[in-house]
């Protein structure tokens, strides 16, 4: 769970940096904003405990509630963004943060892809009546898992393009 959580953190930082870069400002972070942005990361970390995924997926409404909470908290975090550098707890220059977080996202995706390609899926449920040589993982499933490894960089590009588009519309 460490790599996906680190990817989520890098993705959130990339989104903040892309908005600041197009606005020509510093990335400003307040303490309440940082606390609110930690909530989606915390909700993701909880999946490393065995009881949490079982509880989440047993209740059909709980995954929807978790997504809504993460979205609401993220919206509230944007409302608590400091307007001036004097009000900020931390201030970063946007270009190095953009480059650093995108590099981290790509590295994490490469690591995840290597682990997916090299790894055997011992958790796959197979029919016990099938012969042992037929239990190899399906190729389509592996392609899907590789695609999932690259979701954060792909979504970061989408966020960057959307931010650029909205900035161009304002001008």
Three-class SS string for 82-139? CCCHHHCCEEECHHHHHHHHHHHHHHHHHHHHHHHHHCCCCCCCCCCCCCHHHCCCCH
| Rounded distance between C-alpha atoms, residue 21 and residue 16, angstroms | 9
DSSP 60: T
| Rounded distance between C-alpha atoms, residue 98 and residue 159, angstroms | 12
Rg, the chain, Cα only: 19
Q: State the pLDDT confidence band at 57, using cuts at 50, 70 and 90.
A: confident
Q: Write down the pTM of the prediction.
A: 0.69
Judge whether residue 137 has pLDDT over 70: no
Assess contact for 92 and 27: CB atoms under 8 A: yes
* SS3 at position 28: strand
Nearest to 119 by CA among 133, 132, 134, 137: 137
Assess contact for 80 and 30: CB atoms under 8 A: yes
Beta bridge partners of 27: 92
9-25: average pLDDT = 89
99-117: average pLDDT = 93
DSSP 59: S
């Amino acid at each position: 769970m460490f790599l996906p959580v680190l990817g989520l953190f890098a993705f959130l930082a990339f989104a903040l940096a892309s908005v600041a870069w197009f606005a020509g400002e510093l990335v400003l972070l307040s303490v309440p904003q940082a606390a609110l942005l930690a909530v989606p990361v915390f909700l993701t970390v909880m999946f490393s405990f065995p009881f949490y995924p079982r509880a989440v997926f047993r209740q059909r409404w709980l995954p929807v509630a978790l997504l809504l909470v993460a979205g609401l908290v993220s919206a509230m975090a944007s409302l608590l963004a400091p307007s001036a550098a004097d009000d900020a707890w931390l201030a970063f220059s946007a270009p190095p943060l953009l480059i650093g977080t995108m590099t981290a996202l790509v590295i994490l995706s490469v690591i995840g892809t290597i682990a997916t390609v090299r790894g055997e899926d011992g958790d796959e449920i197979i029919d016990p009546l099938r012969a042992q040589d037929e239990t190899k993982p399906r190729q389509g499933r592996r392609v899907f898992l590789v695609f999932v490894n690259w979701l954060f960089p792909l979504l970061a590009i989408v966020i960057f393009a959307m931010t650029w588009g909205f900035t161009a519309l304002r001008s």
